[in-house]
Amino acid sequence: MAQKKSRPAVVLLSGGLDSATALALAKSQGYLLYALTFDYGQRHRAELEAAGKIADTVGVVEHRVVTLDVGWMGGSALTDNEIAVPQQPGEGIPVTYVPARNTIFLAVALAWAETLVARDIIIGINAVDYSGYPDCRPEFLEAFNALAALATRAGVDGRTIRVLAPLMDMDKAGIIRTGDRLGVDYALTLSCYNPDNAGRACGHCDSCRFRAQGFAEAKVADPTRYH
């Protein structure tokens, strides 16, 4: 992407490796960063602390942590204590899928972007590693952008707001190499679906495995803390 000096962007920040990289990329492109984190009833609070540290380190204009509890619905291993986080990759859409999560998050991001008169929303999804999640596909992004144009006053007035997913076609190693070049401190990020209370990773879940493999392939030292 070309340099976009001093334009505001809303960046979804989960506290994970991907969104930290997307935030650093946006920073390098000259955006004024408005980071948006959701306290959505996830089982692990360490994620929220990680997001706060990342936002502080990168330097954002504003970091909002929005409480939008979808945990009462259950339906995901990330929000429901009754559903175990798998230790082995399974078939089809993983149980760590949170029903309609990115649609919900992007809807809030869209409203904030319109209020800020921002044209860009940046999200760290990628289709390569997490092909099991329907709301991480390029088709989803395209459909959401069509919705954003129709659903907002900004869209009607010709100031269409778009969602950008700069990591969409990168694999984990590519994301890590990109972030490493930009100085992302991956020790602050948390990818694990099953961390302990101190935010240390399990080393066994899908997300831990993708992450460890990514560091190995990227030949970047892995700073992940394990329990």
Type of residue at 83: I
220 binds Zn ion (CB under 5 A): no
Tokens 């935030």 belong to: 23
Q: Are the beta carbons of 193 and 203 closer than 8 angstroms?
A: no
For the CB of residue 188, give the shortest distance to Zn ion in the complex, in Å: 16
DSSP of 93-147:
S-TTPPTTHHHHHHHHHHHHHHHHT--EEE----TTTTTT-GGGSHHHHHHHHHH
Nearer to Zn ion, 17 or 113 (CB): 17
Nearer to Zn ion, 98 or 201 (CB): 201
Q: Can you give the C-alpha Rg of the chain in angstroms?
A: 17
For the CB of residue 48, give the shortest distance to Zn ion in the complex, in Å: 17
Nearer to Zn ion, 64 or 200 (CB): 200
d(CA 11, CA 63): 9
Nearer to Zn ion, 24 or 77 (CB): 77
Per-residue mark of binding to Zn ion, 24-43 (x: CB under 5 A) = --------------------
For the CB of residue 225, give the shortest distance to Zn ion in the complex, in Å: 11
Strand, helix or coil for residue 86: coil
For the CB of residue 208, give the shortest distance to Zn ion in the complex, in Å: 3
Q: What are phi and psi of 90, to 5 degrees?
A: -115, -170
Interface with Zn ion: number of residues (CB under 5 A): 6
- 171-210: contacts with Zn ion (CB under 5 A): 192, 194, 201-202, 205, 208
For the CB of residue 191, give the shortest distance to Zn ion in the complex, in Å: 7
For the CB of residue 206, give the shortest distance to Zn ion in the complex, in Å: 8
CB atoms within 10 A of CB 85: 20
Q: Are the beta carbons of 179 and 186 closer than 8 angstroms?
A: yes
Cα–Cα nearest to 193, from 211, 177, 206: 206
Which residues contribute to the site for Zn ion (CB under 5 A)? 192, 194, 201-202, 205, 208
